[in-house]
Amino acid sequence: MEGAAVAAAGGGATPSSLPCNIALTAGLAVLAAAWLLASIRRRNTNAIAGGRGAGGRLPPGSRGLPFLGETLQFFAQSPSLELHGFFKRRMDRYGPVFRTNIVGEDLIVSLDPEVNNFVFQQEGRLFQLWYPYSVMRIFGIPTIATTLGPLHRLMRSLVLRFLGPEALRQSVLHEVQKTAEAALLSWLDQPSIECKEALSSMIFSVTAKKIISYDSETSDGMMWKHYDTFFGNLITFPLCIPGTAFHKCMQGRKNVMKMLKELFDERRGKTARRPAESIDFIDVLLEELKQEKPALSESTALELIFLLLFASFETIASATTAVLTFLTDNPEALQELTEEHDYIQKRRADRSSKITWEEYKSMKFTSHGMFRTATEDVHIKGFAIPKGSKIMVCSASVHLNPAVYKDPNIFNPWRWKDTAEPAGGGSKDFMAFGGGVRLCVGSDFAKLHMAVFLHCLVTKYRWKAIKGGKMTLSPGLRFPEGFRIQLLPKA
């Protein structure tokens, strides 16, 4: 994953078998639908028919059991960060492009780099974004992840005003540093801390402040708790009846949306204009809604806030926790990372001064480290993809391709050291943040947050693993035993 801290290549269950791809971790991270390993595109008709497509053969595969399809296998837990067993078994049997049925939807799944890149690059022409109904219920309709054309471009431009490179350089960089320094200092007083939980809370305080002027010191913490309930039950079978995990997930979402609506209404009722330095994302959305013919509706604005808050803290926390587990098991990588940041600090006239934008951009070792539907009949690599077919693009598989990356299941942050970042943020062999017009809008924010946190960590502290650290896919990234560390002052 370009930019995710060491952005080394991945992680597995043991130091000797750590998958090539922390890109997998971050790729999952920055995709809003955390329970999906891919993007889906579709083409304007219904489910995939059997037999041959127009002018070619359909990919091989199976629809599985009636009603269930192959959903249970898709959600099964994988014991490491290697390519999820669901995809690996079917790739071995059918090849990198195959058919399946998940959550009641017939899909064509692609693990082929060329096909994946083609789908991303043809967004808006031969393919358009599509999500299953169960996903739309979770993340709302519409959001930046599901809108098309002018509305998507507007939403993306609004988000970039707060999370784009210029905003990062002007204000976010130092806000992230200040929050990270305070969080690390507070961890010193504890016998151990649970990494992902502590990092999620830390990141939420930064992003929520920028988006809704959330103050972690004065808040009762209920919004954070509702989000935690939402995500804790997200990667589950979408059966929404009382008592099920999915029902708890939807209740968490409902509670967050209620709080956001109350905040939105409260802010709209105020007549006094807020100072320029206090303007947040809600203010920007309210200004947009005041236009004579606003492109956004209030419900769209609220869904956008909900998704941004979730995607920003939960996904970055998962990726950062994964980075810490990899570094814990690889002293050599930790040593080189520390040397890079110590060198940056020693060059300053005042070693306690704030990180500059130039220093952040110089962190080379640190920074290296979806669904569609077809709108026309497509023929590629000997297969026919009929109009209306739903295509799951499994971009994570790209980073585990031994034909591209030597020993992809071995943790090796140096593999990226002399590799330039792909133009536009992605290529057919690198899709940590998606590609095409759907390249993750928060990718720069994710990279900066992890790099600054690591700088604050390794220049002043060391840590000792206390418990956990095992990572699994089910299919999203999970830490079933957590990862507890003890933070200590640097000797």
In the 3-class helix/strand/coil scheme, how is the chain assigned residue by residue? CCCCCCCCECCCCCHHHCCCEHHHHHHHHHCCCCCCCCEEEECCCCCCCCCEECCEECCCECCCECCCECHHHHHCCECCCCCCHHHHHHHHHHCCEEEEEECCEEEEEECCHHHHHHHHHCECCCEEECCCHHHHHHHCCCCCCCCCHHHHHHHHHHHHHHHCHHHHHHHHHHHHHHHHHHHHHHHCCCCCEEHHHHHHHHHHHHHHHHHHCCCCCCCCCHHHHHHHHHHHCCCCCCCCCCCCHHHHHHHHHHHHHHHHHHHHHHHHCCCCCCCHHHCCHHHHHHHHHCCCCCCCCHHHHHHHHHHHHHHHHHHHHHHHHHHHHHHHCCHHHHHHHHHHHHHHHHCCCCCCCCCCHHHHHCCHHHHHCCEEEECCCEEECCEEECCCCEEEECHHHHHHCCCCCCCCCCCCHHHHCCCCCCHHHCECCECCCCCHHHCCCCHHHHHHHHHHHHHHHHHHEEEEEEEECCCEECCCEECCCCEEEEEEECC
- pTM summary value: 0.77
Q: Give 19's contacts (C-beta < 8 A, 6+ positions apart).
A: 9, 10, 11, 12, 80, 81, 82, 400, 408, 409, 411
Instruction: Report the pLDDT averaged over residues 39-48.
Output: 41
CA angle 280, 286, 287 (to 5 degrees): 95
Instruction: Report the pLDDT averaged over residues 98-127.
Output: 84
Q: Give 123's contacts (C-beta < 8 A, 6+ positions apart).
A: 41, 129, 372, 436, 437, 438
The structure tokens listed for 21 are 């791809």
Task: Identify the residue with better confidence: 207 or 17.
Answer: 207
**Site of tokens 């393919």:** 127
Is residue 440 part of an annotated ligand binding site? Answer: yes
Indicate the range of 169-173, 336-340, 442-446, 465-469 predicted with least confidence.
Answer: 442-446
Asked if 377 and 385 count as a contact pair (C-beta separation under 8 A), the reply is yes
pLDDT-derived band of residue 321, with 50, 70 and 90 as boundaries? very high
Instruction: Report the pLDDT averaged over residues 400-413.
Output: 76
Task: Identify the residue with better confidence: 84 or 5.
Answer: 84
pLDDT-derived band of residue 39, with 50, 70 and 90 as boundaries? very low
Q: Does residue 85 register a pLDDT over 50?
A: yes
Asked if 106 and 123 count as a contact pair (C-beta separation under 8 A), the reply is no
- Domain parsing of the chain, residue ranges: 15-489
- pLDDT tens digits along 371-388: 556 677 788 777 888 888
How high is the pLDDT of residue 433?
66
Asked if 262 and 282 count as a contact pair (C-beta separation under 8 A), the reply is no
Instruction: Report the pLDDT averaged over residues 78-88.
Output: 82
Q: Does residue 23 register a pLDDT over 50?
A: no
Q: Which residues pair with 465 in a beta bridge?
A: 485
How high is the pLDDT of residue 98?
94
Q: Does residue 237 register a pLDDT over 60?
A: yes
Q: Identity (one letter) of the amino acid at 34?
A: A
The C-alpha atoms of residue 487 and residue 41 are separated, in whole angstroms, by 44
Indicate the range of 37-51, 202-216, 321-335 predicted with least confidence.
Answer: 37-51
The C-alpha atoms of residue 390 and residue 108 are separated, in whole angstroms, by 6
Average pLDDT, the chain: 77
Instruction: Report the pLDDT averaged over residues 315-326.
Output: 89
Q: How far is CA 278 from CA 213, 237, 281, in A?
A: 8, 41, 10
Per-residue b/e over 268-284, b at no fewer than 16 CB within 10 Å? Answer: eeeeeeeeeeebbbbbb
Q: Identity (one letter) of the amino acid at 169?
A: R
Task: Identify the residue with better confidence: 174 or 3.
Answer: 174
The C-alpha atoms of residue 181 and residue 6 are separated, in whole angstroms, by 19
The C-alpha atoms of residue 69 and residue 481 are separated, in whole angstroms, by 30
Q: Give 186's contacts (C-beta < 8 A, 6+ positions apart).
A: none
The C-alpha atoms of residue 127 and residue 119 are separated, in whole angstroms, by 7
The CATH topology of domain 15-489 is: Cytochrome p450 (1.10.630)
**Site of tokens 């130039």:** 358
Q: Which of 483, 328, 433, 371 has the alpha carbon at shortest distance from 21?
A: 433
Q: How far is CA 50 from CA 63, 255, 385, 449, in A?
A: 10, 43, 11, 47
**Site of tokens 């078994």:** 89
The C-alpha atoms of residue 400 and residue 397 are separated, in whole angstroms, by 5
Q: Over pLDDT 90: what percentage of the chain?
A: 23
Q: What are phi and psi of 198, to 5 degrees?
A: -65, -40
- Per the rule left: phi > 0, alpha: psi between -120 and 50, beta: everything else, 468 is left
The C-alpha atoms of residue 383 and residue 421 are separated, in whole angstroms, by 31
Q: Does residue 187 register a pLDDT over 90?
A: yes
**Site of tokens 């650290």:** 469
How high is the pLDDT of residue 428?
65
pLDDT-derived band of residue 35, with 50, 70 and 90 as boundaries? very low
Q: Does residue 8 register a pLDDT over 70?
A: no
pLDDT-derived band of residue 17, with 50, 70 and 90 as boundaries? very low
Q: Are strands 371-374 and 105-110 parallel, antiparallel or unpaired?
A: unpaired
